[in-house]
């Protein structure tokens, strides 16, 4: 049985709304939230009470941000990776993986071994010509090359299942995951949304193994059981809910990002929502130092796994 209710929430105490807020990432050591404003071309950070707010401009759309172990910020820029120095705002251009003008990078995240996973999207969101990448000590590798809109991803608590979203197939996949090698096998549909109503966007996984997913154009964030059953449907006063992540000292605050629509007719669109989810999440891994050559070096993409 699915419980549907209006979400009870606080707002991150920042009045400056994002155009397209995305990719919340909680830094446990710093107790600090990072996220991106994709089309606003900026990386943002703040404490959960809104204090200590900072932002850094990027030269293009920025699809994701993940801090590294050295205190820098690894960013997914339009065509490739970059490394931002938060002390100076200087951005070092990294590996370029996308040269096509109608594609850009989108969501990204590290697994528990520190490998960086990210994908691209076709701007018109019609053609399966985008890619999903993995960066490890060997460099950048293409995992899938038939994606339309690469989006939310996460891992089960036992680290044996990866969840992955191609938004314009309206599906979240689950895949067998080898934590030692990062190899994916046996893709199957975990959850599917009704086409033409709303679209699966960013996601995260809680400590009970349940998947939380934001729904673009759906006014909602939902919680799925590990077997894909819909458990909870939280409704928000904003249509374009984009992603979610657990935060706070006990990882028991669900941070939810959002975006403004073309008419900008929702007063809270682009704000960051803070929700008590009734459970807690799992910590995230910063990008380890050994990935720096792959992030900053030459890309040598090769398809590593069949679909």
Helix/strand/coil percent split, the chain, to 5: 5, 50, 45
Using 50, 70 and 90 to split pLDDT, how confident is the model at 305? low
Cα gap 285→39, rounded to integer Å: 26
Q: Is pLDDT at 299 greater than 80 in this prediction? A: no
Set out the domains of the chain in order of their start, with CATH numbers.
3-296 (2.120.10.30)
Say which residue, 50 or 307, is predicted with more confidence: 50
**What contacts 68, CB < 8 A, 6 or more positions away?**
74, 83, 286, 287, 288, 289, 291, 292
pLDDT of 297 reads 73
Query: Parallel, antiparallel, or unpaired for β 230-235 and 3-6?
Result: parallel
Give me the mean pLDDT over the 16-35 stretch: 98
pLDDT digits (tens, 9 = 90+) for 94-134: 999 999 999 999 999 999 999 999 999 999 999 999 999 99
164 beta partners: 153, 173
Whether residue 304 has pLDDT greater than 60: no
Quick one: average pLDDT of 163-172? 98
Question: 160, 257, 228, 241: which is closest to 200 by C-alpha?
Answer: 241
User: Which tens digit of pLDDT belongs to each residue from 248-294?
Assistant: 999 999 999 999 999 999 999 999 999 999 999 999 999 999 999 99
**Residues 36/45, Cβ–Cβ less than 8 Å:** no
Q: Answer whether residue 302 shows pLDDT above 50.
A: no
Which pair of tokens denotes residue 95? 């590996």
Q: What is the pLDDT of residue 81?
A: 98
Residue 301 has pLDDT above 60, yes or no: no
Check whether 300 has a pLDDT greater than 60.
Answer: no
Average pLDDT over residues 47-65: 98
The arithmetic mean of pLDDT across residues 153-158, rounded, is 98
């Amino acid at each position: 049985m699915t419980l549907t209710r209006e979400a009870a929430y606080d707002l991150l105490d920042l009045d400056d709304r994002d155009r397209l807020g995305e990719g919340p990432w909680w830094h446990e050591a710093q107790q600090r939230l990072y996220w991106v404003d994709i089309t606003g071309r900026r990386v943002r950070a703040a404490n959960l009470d809104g204090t200590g707010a900072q932002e850094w401009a990027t030269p293009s759309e920025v699809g994701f941000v993940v801090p590294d172990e050295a205190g820098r910020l690894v960013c997914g820029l339009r065509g490739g990776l970059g490394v931002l120095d938060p002390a100076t705002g200087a951005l070092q251009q990294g590996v370029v993986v996308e040269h096509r003008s109608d594609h850009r990078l989108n969501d990204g995240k590290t697994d528990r071994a520190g490998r960086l996973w990210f994908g691209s999207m076709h701007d018109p969101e019609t053609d399966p010509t985008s890619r999903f990448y993995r960066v490890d000590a060997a460099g950048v590798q293409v995992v899938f090359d038939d994606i339309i809109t690469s989006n939310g991803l996460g891992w089960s608590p036992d680290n044996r299942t990866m969840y992955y979203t191609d938004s314009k197939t309206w599906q979240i996949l689950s895949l067998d995951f080898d934590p030692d090698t990062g190899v994916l096998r046996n893709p199957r549909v975990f959850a599917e949304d009704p086409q033409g109503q709303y679209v699966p966007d960013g996601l995260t996984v809680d400590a009970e193994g349940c998947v939380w997913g934001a729904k673009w154009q759906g006014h909602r964030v939902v919680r799925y059981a590990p077997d894909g059953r819909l458990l909870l449907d939280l409704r928000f006063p904003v249509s374009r809910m984009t992603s979610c992540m657990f935060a706070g000292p006990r990882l028991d605050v669900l941070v939810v990002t959002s975006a403004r629509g073309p008419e900008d007719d929702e007063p809270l669109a682009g704000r960051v929502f803070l929700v008590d989810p009734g459970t807690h999440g799992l910590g995230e891994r910063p990008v380890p130092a050994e990935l720096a050559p792959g992030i900053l070096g030459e890309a040598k993409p090769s398809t590593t796994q069949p679909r």
